[in-house]
A and B are shown apart, each in its own frame.
Chain A
């Protein structure tokens, strides 16, 4: 399984989302490759991804950028809330 964490410029915030998504997956006993991407590169980065993680703020831009890509877009409010990220991933995967 592949998950892509996306932010505007592909550093900083997407890196935090990536590490906390990995922690959430670990707690759920799941394994996945989690990549980080910037918004301009998301269509290519998410071509073979099942899930795209991003902020509420960026979700419509992400949806627009990926077009017909079938990856599910999950919106995260608090990037440091591993429980929130885990609950949303579990809902999506379960």
Chain B
């Protein structure tokens, strides 16, 4: 199973934000811009962290922002936001965050196979730092193992 596309519209590099909410909102903006979600999805990603805590910071420097499937998800999608200055999310081990991956799925079961592929890329130690320093969408897609034709 292949990853959802990661077009240029879904990538924001070197963004300046004041706090974790703004960082998650940028991931929401990228998902909207690439046609994956409606704008309400950003609020739901923030609500997940408000309800359950910063567990979405799943590795040093990396947050995986996401919410449940819902009517604001038009189609499954990925977005990647890198931050110019790291921001704390409130995680005991993995703060501060430099890379936010936004994830939208339309079906809770069917995304496991491609998430496994995403996990392959991130199992490489040092990948988060390299993604944080990526200067172009092409470079970022290559780091994540995307075949760069059309970002798919």
Where the two chains meet, the residues of A that have a C-beta atom closer than 8 Å to any C-beta of B are 7-13, 15-20, 23, 36, 39, 54-58, 61, 77-82
Nearest CB in chain A to that of B44: its residue: A9
Interface of B is mostly: mixed
Which 6 pairs of residues, A with B, have the shortest CB-CB distance?
Answer: A8-B52, A57-B55, A79-B58, A12-B66, A55-B55, A19-B116
Docked CA distance A54–B122 (Å): 18
| Number of residues on chain B facing chain A (CB within 8 A) | 31
List of B residues within 8 angstroms of A36 by Cβ: 112
Additional pairs, 14, CB under 8 Å, beyond known A16-B115, A61-B52: A8-B52, A10-B68, A11-B103, A11-B108, A12-B105, A13-B58, A15-B116, A19-B119, A55-B55, A57-B53, A57-B55, A57-B57, A57-B91, A58-B55
Within 8 A of A (CB), among B61-93: 64, 66-69, 91-93
Contact indicator per residue, chain B 93-106, by CB within 8 Å of chain A (1) or not (0):
11000000001010
In contact, A55 and B58 (Cβ under 8 angstroms):
yes
List of A residues within 8 angstroms of B66 by Cβ: 9, 11-13
Given A19-B115, A57-B53, A58-B52, are A11 and B92 also a contact pair (CB < 8 Å)?
Answer: no
